[in-house]
Amino acid sequence: MKRVLVTGVKGQLGYDVVKRLKLENTTFDVIGVDIDDFDLTNLEAVNSFITNLRPDIVVHSAAYTAVDKAESDSELCLAVNEKGSENIAIACKAINAKLVYISTDYVYNGLGDKPFEVSADVAPLSVYGKSKLAGELACKKHVDKLFIIRTSWVFGLNGNNFVKTMLRLGTERDTLSVVADQIGSPTYTPDLADFIAHLITTDKYGTYHFSNEGFCSWFDFAKEIFVKANIKTDLKPIKTSEYKTVAVRPLNSRLSKKSVYDSGYKSIPSWQDALGRYLKEIKS
């Protein structure tokens, strides 16, 4: 039985990775941890915890994810996403553990209209994007048995996300303006967790892109949420230039999933299918 340590268990992805791996209770012994268990930015604390536990695999999904706040809080963002990830990587190297590092489409410049391949040039636009790329590089520096998974537009049961925000605003307002010129793919955390469960049983190390199949704008996504949830709100499409945010958002967040299929993984569900399952999940 392989022991798996999952960081960020209180977050959207960490929660679902633990839930998914526990289904394979004869394959994986799963331990989920969060900020209360050790300080990611303290190498001694990280090393001590991980070397005592001696996991075979670490899924590192804990991160600083407040994209706008990161612009004025860059020191903490970098401490968590770069230094914290490096500390995890150093500890993994010491015990020869596999490492899964969760990254983001924000490592790209968001230009063009084609899906980014894993080999595409990286050029992050925001502090958050830069910190996640720095985390990738820090992990690469120390660990050979490394899986990097870049994902986008994540939604799950735990924590806040776009779907929950739309469901709330849809019942509070008669009209709503949503950005229609940022294009990407939503990612349902149980679907990503399933891919992680597949990947960690292999030695196919490298970088992967995972999101649900199909592309849409945030406006399209909101429209589908309201249709499926039967919410009658007047939706208006707007441009990114009309919706000011502190951090620059990529206009193109399309990710090519070729790497996922090349790993031997089965088909990825569409984002519409994922949304339907999620709405059922939060109802129950």
Whether the full predicted model's pTM is greater than 0.75, yes or no, is yes
> Which residues in the chain belong to E strands, given as ranges?
2-7, 28-33, 57-60, 98-104, 146-151, 154-155, 175-179, 183-184, 187-188, 206-210, 216-217, 234-238
In 247-282, which positions are buried (b, 16+ CB within 10 angstroms) versus exposed (e)? bbbbbbbbbbbebbeeeebeebbebbebbeebeeee
Q: What is the pLDDT of residue 68?
A: 96
User: Is 7:33 a contact under the CB 8 Å cutoff?
Assistant: yes
**163 closest CA partner among 12, 7, 9:** 12
Q: Which residues of the chain have pLDDT under 70?
A: none
Whether 128 is catalytic: yes
**Segment 72-100, tens digit of pLDDT:** 999 999 999 999 999 999 999 999 999 99
Q: Which fold has domain 2-160+186-213+254-269?
A: Rossmann fold (3.40.50)
Pairing, β 2-7 against β 57-60: parallel
Out of 128, 188, 208, 265, pick the active-site residue.
Answer: 128
